[in-house]
Amino acid sequence: MQTLKVVYKVTYPNGKVYVGQDRTDSINYFGSPSDELIARDFTSEQRRSFTVTREILWESETASHSELSRMEVVFILALRANDPQVGYNQWPKFRPKEDIGVSRLPRGLRQNPND
């Protein structure tokens, strides 16, 4: 059996998100967003008790590494996780006029297929 490859979204208490990929489907992997960026958004008191959620957005047993990376970028752009007002992804570099939005996700990946 092949290892499940996943693209996930981590949501922080302030509502900002980080999108990443995991080639091992580890339950304990939360990616590598910048500690510094996240720390700026929370006071010392808020950091004392901190809950994040990790949601699987896409998974595949057969995807190549390049397909997994492509899907990660699709979700980063669709969720605007690279927009500093929305998320913590620093790549690809955020360009406001390139926001593809949820409507550009493949139909099967949208929460509302009518988008």
Pairing between β-strand 17-22 and β-strand 53-60 as defined by DSSP bridges:
unpaired
Query: pLDDT tens digit string along 13-66?
Result: 999 999 999 999 899 999 999 999 999 999 999 999 999 999 999 999 999 999
Q: What span, in angstroms and rounded, lies between the C-alpha atoms of 47 and 7?
A: 26
pTM check: above 0.85:
no
Q: What span, in angstroms and rounded, lies between the C-alpha atoms of 61 and 51?
A: 29
36-74: b or e for each residue (b if 16 or more CB lie within 10 Å)?
eebeeeeeeeeeeeeeeebeebbeeeebeeeebeebbbb
Q: What is the mean pLDDT of residues 64-86?
A: 97
Question: Cα dist. 32→19, 79, 91 in Å?
Answer: 10, 18, 12
Q: What span, in angstroms and rounded, lies between the C-alpha atoms of 41 and 19?
A: 18
